[in-house]
């Protein structure tokens, strides 16, 4: 069963990643000792925990010209939305074999010498300007870090928003509730917009004041809890 949002992937410029990370940390996200290298695309990432144990991953280019242009042509912005599955094989099998489907089973050596296995799959091409995927996990990994911001909504806005609503409902087996989907505690919302595909905004509940972190298109909205 696909139970909730595992993590959100943001493409960022290498020169801007520290300033964005500082804003996340100031809002109550927690730095995770999870620096990952992806030599096949000359990119790397750092991650920041959110409440319930999921996280935000900031991916940046190490060497221009190798990483997918569709990810980094306009940054910062959300490029990937990952969900957790506690029955990975069954959930992936339910997709059949759609065009562009991919499966990743990759080990990463971490700085402390331990090995992290990344077992994930996506029902459409990985290197599109926005992609969705599922992670093989029974529990979210970073709840023990005590991060405060709680992801409440993900909004996809653009000309293909209705198409994405239909695709996500099918892939995630998430029924419509009015005009939105709900996966775990997170509402997936869909809005018309000018972009020919979609651009993504994230809504978090936080302890603090209202803040908006803008992207090239889309944004993070931090809203105080009631």
What is the reported pLDDT for 226? 66
Residue pair 135/84 in contact by the 8 Å Cβ criterion: yes
Residue 182's closest CA among 193, 171, 172?
172
The pTM of this model reads 0.96
What parts of the chain have a pLDDT lower than 50?
none
How many Å apart are CA 60 and CA 44, to the nearest integer?
6
Sequence-separated (6 or more) residues with CB below 8 Å from residue 124: 98, 99, 100, 101, 131, 132, 167
Task: Give me 218's structure tokens.
Answer: 């889309």
Distance of CA 142 to the CA centre of its chain: 15
Query: How far is 120 from 128, CA to CA, in rounded Å?
Result: 16
- Beta bridge mates, 4: 84
Residue with tokens 């620096």: 35
* Joined tokens for residue 126: 């990985």
Instruction: Spell out the CATH class of 2-224.
Output: alpha beta
Please tell me the predicted confidence (pLDDT) of residue 199: 97
11: nearest Cα among 149, 215, 202? 215
Question: Can you give the pLDDT at residue 50?
Answer: 97
- Residue 139 near residue 53 (C-beta atoms within 8 A): yes
- pLDDT score at 146: 95
- In contact, 154 and 4? CB cutoff 8 Å: no
């Amino acid at each position: 069963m696909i139970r909730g949002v595992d993590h959100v992937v943001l493409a960022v410029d290498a020169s801007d990643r520290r300033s964005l990370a500082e804003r996340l940390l100031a809002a109550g996200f927690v730095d995770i000792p999870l620096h990952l290298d992806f030599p096949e695309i000359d990119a790397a990432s750092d991650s920041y925990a959110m409440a319930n144990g999921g996280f935000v991953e900031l991916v940046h280019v190490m060497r221009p010209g190798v990483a997918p242009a569709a990810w980094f042509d306009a940054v910062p912005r959300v490029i990937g939305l990952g969900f957790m599955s506690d029955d990975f094989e069954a959930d992936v099998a339910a997709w059949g074999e759609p065009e562009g489907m991919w499966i990743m089973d990759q080990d990463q050596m971490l700085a402390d010498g331990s090995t992290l296995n990344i077992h994930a799959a996506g029902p459409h091409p990985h290197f599109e300007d926005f992609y969705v995927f599922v992670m093989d996990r029974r529990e979210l990994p970073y709840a023990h870090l005590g991060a405060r911001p709680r992801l409440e909504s993900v909004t996809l806005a653009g000309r293909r928003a209705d198409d994405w609503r239909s695709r996500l409902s099918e892939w995630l087996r998430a029924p419509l509730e009015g005009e939105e989907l709900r996966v775990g505690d997170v509402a997936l919302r869909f809005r018309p917009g000018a972009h020919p595909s979609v651009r993504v905004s994230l809504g978090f509940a936080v302890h603090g004041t209202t803040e908006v972190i803008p992207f090239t298109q889309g944004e993070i909205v931090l809203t105080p809890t009631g």
